Amino acid sequence: MVGHLRKKLDEKGVINMGRLLVFEGIDGSGKSTQIEMLSNFLKSQKQKVFVTREPGGTEFGEKCRELFLGEKLDGLTEACLAFASRNEHILQKIKPALRLGYWVLCDRFSDSTIAYQGYGRGVEINFLREMATNIEKQLSEIRIIYVHTSLERCLERIKKRSGVKNKFDNSSKIFYEKVIYGYSNIVKERGGTIIQVDGNDEIKKVFSKILQSVPELEQFKTNHNHLGDI
């Protein structure tokens, strides 16, 4: 491990040794599956891993999540709840974990708010972008992995998925098409920060693609024979 190369300073000049990897994509695209695989893989490589999600991640964030997913709300209200949850998440969990050298694997972040509340629900995108930029200033680096899976596959997977449904699971095809269009614009705007992987492939192939294409995981490329253990 080349620990000294991974040390970065955050905006307050505090040494920040971990890495924040955010997974984005529409519901059913395969984010949670890939996060679990990557978490297991990194742990097998003796790395410290913190898996978290949004909205949520803190006691306050989980309360926001309950309101966010349980209530019928205006898009702007949803966006405010998502950002409120995110800010506490960064302050209470993400930054402390990064300082302690953890790999932070986060299921969704700002791009979900821009794609769902902005493109999907019509909240002003520039306002959301500005909020996202300001909130992300608190982090020295962020890598986003966008799992791009066709809507048909996602809808099939959501239908089959067991567990409690959330209010977005019953969203219309038109809504998801807008969200996917939003993600495609976000990919262009974010440039090199975001890595797009094809989520239509089989699970292990998607994972292998992530290992191959995410620069932060470069050091583990040659270890992907461990894939068989996951």
Which residues from 60-119 bind ligand TYD, rule CB under 6 A?
82, 107-108, 112-113, 116-117
**Which among 12-20, 92-100, 109-117, 196-204 is the span making contact with ligand ADP, rule CB under 6 A?**
196-204
Three-state SS sequence of the chain: CCHHHHCEECCCCCEECCEEEEEECCCCCCHHHHHHHHHHHHHHCCCCEEEEECCCCCHHHHHHHHHHHHCCCCHHHHHHHHHHHHHHHHHHHHHHHHHCCCEEEEECCHHHHHHHHHHHCCCCHHHHHHHHHHHHCCCCCCEEEEEECCHHHHHHHHHHCCCCCCHHHHCCHHHHHHHHHHHHHHHHHHHHHEEEEECCCCHHHHHHHHHHHCHHHHHHHHHHHHHHHC
Q: Pick from 16, 24, 27, 214: which binds ligand TYD (CB under 6 A)?
A: 27
Residue 28 CB, nearest distance to ligand TYD (Å)?
6
Of 62, 203, 221, 223, which one interacts with ligand ADP (CB under 6 A)?
A: 203
Pairing of strands 49-53, 103-107: parallel
Choosing from 30, 55, 56, 120, the residue that interacts with ligand ADP (CB under 6 A) is 30
Residue placing its CB nearer to ligand ADP in the complex, 111 or 131: 111
> In what order do the strands lie in the sheet containing 194-198?
49-53, 103-107, 19-24, 143-148, 194-198
Q: Does residue 202 bind ligand ADP (CB under 6 A)? A: yes
Site for ligand ADP contains 55 (CB under 6 A): no
Rounded to whole angstroms, how far apart are CA atoms 119 and 145?
Answer: 19
Q: Contacting ligand TYD (CB under 6 A), which of 40, 92, 138, 166?
A: 166
Candidate residues 18, 21, 31, 113; the one interacting with ligand ADP per rule CB under 6 A: 31
Q: Is 16 in the site for ligand TYD (CB under 6 A)?
A: no
Which of residues 20, 21, 52, 55 is near ligand TYD by CB under 6 A?
Answer: 55
Nearer to ligand ADP, 162 or 225 (CB): 162
| Interface with ligand ADP (CB under 6 A) | 25, 27-33, 157, 161, 199, 201-203, 206
Positions that interact with ligand TYD (CB under 6 A): 27, 31-32, 53-55, 82, 107-108, 112-113, 116-117, 166, 168
